[in-house]
Chains A and B, each alone.
Chain A
Amino acid sequence: NAGVTQTPKFRVLKTGQSMTLLCAQDMNHEYMYWYRQDPGMGLRLIHYSVGEGTTAKGEVPDGYNVSRLKKQNFLLGLESAAPSQTSVYFCASSRLAGDYEQYFGPGTRLTVT
């Protein structure tokens, strides 16, 4: 099992450009999440999904959109990138019931100039 994978690993954008980050998991998990991690801030939840076709806002959703068309994939979109969105983005997934630990992908380092 690959677990949680993310593409791309690195990306540089100019202000105003758009992009989509892809997350895929092969553990048949119901829940999926997008976080950003900034120095001195810890991990903050952007959006999450509790199942295929559902999405919801997390702690810092502004400037991002998400879609979950297939259970195994969770996409994070930036429509008009801003320098404040320079960060490392992590995707995670977890089971519906039982232990609720989240399993994380390797991250995407995004720089917006």
Chain B
Amino acid sequence: EDQVTQSPEALRLQEGESSSLNCSYTVSGLRGLFWYRQDPGKGPEFLFTLYSAGEEKEKERLKATLTKKESFLHITAPKPEDSATYLCAVQAGGSNYKLTFGKGTLLTVNP
């Protein structure tokens, strides 16, 4: 059974204080690992897809990296508008539709 564990559950940062969120996974043949951002009362918003170990992707202050067992979402010099819940999901090989989601990390960035 595919499993995704995200840590920490919640993270408070000061504006400008860089940090990382972790997503550990077990899956039978990874097809892709996805990061989403979810604001309160809204649907998840797609951020990145990573396909193979060693891959990295960046968007503004966010950088996602992938190893064979985990992914990190690095947040550099965060701003209050980066406050959100960040969700990680995996897709197994042979399943081009099913995503298994973690429970998310609630990030709060204080000004």
Contact = CB atoms under 8 A, between A and B. Distances in A.
B97 A40 contact: no
B59 interface: no
Contacts of B31: 100
Given A50-B97, A101-B49, A40 B43 contact: no
B104 A42 contact: yes
A90 B96 contact: no
B87 interface: yes
Contact of A102 (B99, B102, B103, B104): B99
Interface string B26-43: 000001101010000111
A31 interface: yes
Contacts of A4: 43
A42 B42 contact: no
Given A100-B32, A101-B34, A101-B49, A43 B101 contact: yes
A58 B101 CA distance: 13
A66 to B, nearest CB: 14
Contacts of A34: none
Given A99-B49, A107-B42, A33 B101 contact: no
B97 A42 contact: no
A113 to B, nearest CB: 21
Nearest to B51: A99
A45 B90 CA distance: 13
A42 B88 CA distance: 10
B97 A33 contact: yes
A103 interface: yes
Contact of B103 (A42, A50, A90, A94): A42
Given A42-B102, A100-B32, A105-B43, 17 more contacts: A33-B97, A40-B103, A41-B103, A42-B87, A42-B101, A42-B103, A43-B87, A43-B89, A44-B101, A99-B49, A100-B31, A100-B97, A101-B46, A102-B34, A103-B46, A104-B36, A106-B43
